[in-house]
Amino acid sequence: MNLDRRSFITGLAAVPLVAAIGGCGGNTGPRYNVEAPRVALAWIKNVEYAGLFIADHLNYYKAEGMTPNFLSGGPNSPMPSVNVSAGNAQIGFDNDFRRFMDAVLLGNDLVIVGAQYQRSPGGIISLAKRPILTPEDLVGSRFLGQDGVETIVDAVLTMAGLPIEYDYFPAGYSVAALVEGQGDAYSAFAVNQPITLQREYGMEEGKDFFFISWAELGLAGYGNMMFCKREFLETEFDTVVGFLRATIKGWYYNADNPNLAPKLVLDGPGKDLGLEIEQQRIQNKIQLEYMHSAITAEKGIFWIDPEDVELNMYPSLRATGRTNLPPAAEVFDTRALEAAYEKITLPLTSRTGMG
Amino acid sequence: MDQLKQFWSRYWGVLLLLVIWQSLITMNNLNTIVAPSPHAVVLALVNEAEFFAAEASRTALTATGGLALGLILGFTMACLSWAAPAMSGLLTPVALLIRSIPIVAFVPIIVRIAGYGTHTVLIVTTFLSFFPCYVFALSGFQEVAQIRKDVCTSLGCSTRGFNGWRFFRYVAMPSAVPNILTALRLLAPMAILVALVAEFLIGSDGLGYVMIRARSDMQMDKSWAAALLASALSIMFFVIFSWLDTKYRKNWQT
């Protein structure tokens, strides 16, 4: 090949550049600091993570030898699974069961080690003039949703064998668009927007507005699932267990002292988020409901059940085309929970009234 | 061979970028949900070529439509401002106000008024194109060479207000053409960008919508393919309007 001077110089310039890139990616040692694990949250730093902030405040994490660094989630931040896959965080909380499983199916070897919400509080709010209570009601509706919700609505309709016919409008996280009549349905969290409707608009649930969860529409799934890379679980098992144990203790403390977390959040992590203490108090109370189930009564909060996943959560994934799912026990790993509960004394559990 | 050499010397930067992109992904072993490889992006483009062509033409059409409407609106307003300077006092602050609102803040306001849909994307693009067209056209009208003005005055032709329409038609308007061509050249890539942002935020089709929908579905290759196509579209618009500018500017300049 005939090289002229310019292309030769170009080529020369490229060599160290590529070598430099190779250099930074080449080292295979741990790139993380187990004393300060980075934790990617699925939502903004509000009372949704009450247990974590309490565990931090009461030095439960310090007792396990770590000071976690919480990365805020929510609008315009990377998805927790992306953050963990990229190595930007070691532990993540994911609120979207379907999207999480899609990440796994795309070759991310992620494991769920616990679940904050036994049932996802996600669902649909509608108003009395056009209630949406069944998948059939969705057909022909005007749907106000946020990033990622369109896929969920499509899944509900597919599951129910209905045509995917509705108008989708991208809306924000304020329920105002629904109240102003820009749509018939609004995707929301039971622990968030219904409180706004009651407090700010004076509406009554079951009369002026309705909430139906995705689970009731055929898509069961956990919420705020705690996960990490499989490699991290295997190599840093004690870190995962320590974090999980401190987190669980924080949540139990929260159940006994529900007024502490709203105060902590407003004074610290959520100071600049424009949160309202009363709204946060109500949210903290409502979310406790979502944290327990038959299995947590027996085993403790955060418990996950691969069998339940296989029986009740996988079918909707299969029905929407995800046929090559790994066995649930491979993705939902209870070893960390078992190890964490070994050192959590029972009186704590029984005192809370959650057990 | 010569052509190959020329290609290499002109586009080596792009090729280098591709090499860096691919190496970063291979060496850090990044999953597609973090960043897809150039190979995956090209594959996504090719596999769904028809789909992407349709979405790209939608975005291009909306951008062109917005640009055309903005030009017509800006030109008309500039004409009025020239004829009746009092109008200018009314229009300039409004135009400035529209211009100073960031598009991401502007979009939700327009949605409240006009509702969701492609027509809203068109309205946003029109509004954003309007101001530069208005300013460039008006300054073109006003910068007529003094000597031409003098000639017209000496021939008894009014050079201002509604009475001066003949001066406007035969002298001021032609002298504003280079300005308008410049405005279009600057605006064309921006119109694409504005259309994309509007589609991203409120649309239900077009490349901007494909970007966000594919991202929510974790199809990053598709999302990046749309972004790549959008850049290509933006460059294409710039090239077309630059060409128009250089081709026709001469005809109007002295």
Question: Which three-class secondary structure string do you get for A296-308?
Answer: HHHHCCCCCCHHH
Please answer yes or no on whether A25 and B216 come within 8 Å at the CB atom: no
d(CA B237, CA B55): 16
- Separation of CA B121 from chain center: 13
Model pLDDT, residue A108: 95
- Please give the pLDDT value at position B85: 79
Q: What pLDDT band is residue A31 in, cutting at 50, 70 and 90? A: low
Mean of pLDDT over chain B: 88
Given this model, what pLDDT does residue A131 score? 95
Q: Phi, psi (5° rounding) for residue A30? A: -65, 135
Residue contact B28–A182, C-beta within 8 A: no
Q: Using CA atoms, how far apart are residues A89 and B40, in angstroms rounded to an integer? A: 25
pLDDT tens-digit profile of B57-104? 999 999 999 999 999 999 998 888 888 878 777 777 877 787 788 888
Query: For A259-267, what is the mean pLDDT?
Result: 94
Q: Check pLDDT > 60 for residue A17.
A: no
CA distance B62 to chain A (A): 19
pLDDT at A351: 43
User: Mapping DSSP to helix (H, G, I), strand (E, B) and coil, where does residue A40 land?
Assistant: strand
- Among A35-44, A59-68, A262-271, A342-351, which is the least confidently predicted range? A342-351
**Tokens matching residue A287:** 């979310």
| Helix segments in chain A, DSSP class H | 5-26, 50-57, 60-63, 80-85, 97-105, 135-138, 149-159, 176-179, 193-200, 230-235, 237-256, 260-267, 277-291, 294-299, 306-308, 314-319, 328-331, 335-342, 346-351
Rg of chain B taking only CA atoms, in angstroms: 23
Query: Closest to A82 (Cβ–Cβ): which among B33, B201, B213?
Result: B33
Q: What pLDDT score was predicted for residue A123?
A: 94
pLDDT band at A346 (very low <50, low <70, confident <90, very high): low
Please name the member of B27, B33, B201 whose beta carbon is closest to the beta carbon of A25.
Answer: B27
Residue A210 has pLDDT above 80, yes or no: yes
What pLDDT sits at residue A33? Answer: 80
Pairing of strands A142-145, A167-170: parallel
Q: A54 — phi, psi (to 5°)?
A: -65, -45
Could you tell me the domains of chain B? 1-30 (no CATH), 36-252 (1.10.3720.10)
Distance (Å, whole) CA A316 – CA A97: 11
String of DSSP letters for A211-241: EEETTTTT----EEEEEEEHHHHHHTHHHHH
Task: Say how far apart CA B213 and CA B203 lie, in whole Å.
Answer: 10
Does position B29 have pLDDT exceeding 90, yes or no? no
As a whole number, the mean pLDDT across chain A is 87
Q: Do B33 and A169 touch (CB under 8 A)?
A: no
Of A53-67, A113-127, B74-88, B181-195, the least confident: B74-88
Confidence label for A3 from pLDDT (cuts 50, 70 and 90) = very low
The helix/strand/coil state of B252 is: helix
What is the Cβ-side half-sphere exposure of residue B103, based on CA atoms within 13 angstroms? Answer: 22
| Residues linked to residue A69 through DSSP beta bridges, in sequence order | A38
Which pLDDT score, from 0 to 100, does residue B176 have?
87
For residue A23, pLDDT beyond 50: no
pTM of the model: 0.82
pLDDT band at A269 (very low <50, low <70, confident <90, very high): confident
Q: Indicate yes or no: CB of B16 within 8 angstroms of CB of A14.
A: yes
pLDDT at B175 over 90: no
What is the C-alpha to C-alpha distance for residues A127 and A184, in angstroms, rounded to an integer? 7
- The A209-213 sheet, strands edge to edge: A167-170, A142-145, A185-189, A122-127, A209-213
B217 touches chain A (CB under 8 A): yes
Which of B3, B17, B107, B218 is the mutation pick for testing A, counting most A CBs within 10 A?
A: B218
Residue A251 contacts residue A159 (beta carbons within 8 Å): no
Residue pLDDT, tens place only, B137-155: 988 888 888 888 888 888 8
Asked if B168 contacts B125 with a C-beta cutoff of 8 angstroms, the reply is no
Instruction: Nearest chain B residue to A96 by CA: give it.
Output: B216
Q: Give the closest residue to A112 by CA, choosing from A101, A123, A102.
A: A101
* B15 in contact with A, Cβ within 8 Å: no
Q: B157: pLDDT confidence band, cut at 50, 70 and 90? A: confident
pLDDT band at A59 (very low <50, low <70, confident <90, very high): very high
Its CATH class, for the domain covering A122-213, is alpha beta
The residues spanned by each domain of chain A are 38-119+221-351, 122-213
Q: Are A176 and A153 in contact (CB under 8 A)?
A: no
Distance CA A344, CA A247 (A): 11
Domains A38-119+221-351 and A122-213 share a fold: yes
- Asked if the A38-119+221-351 domain carries CATH number 1.10.240.10, the reply is no
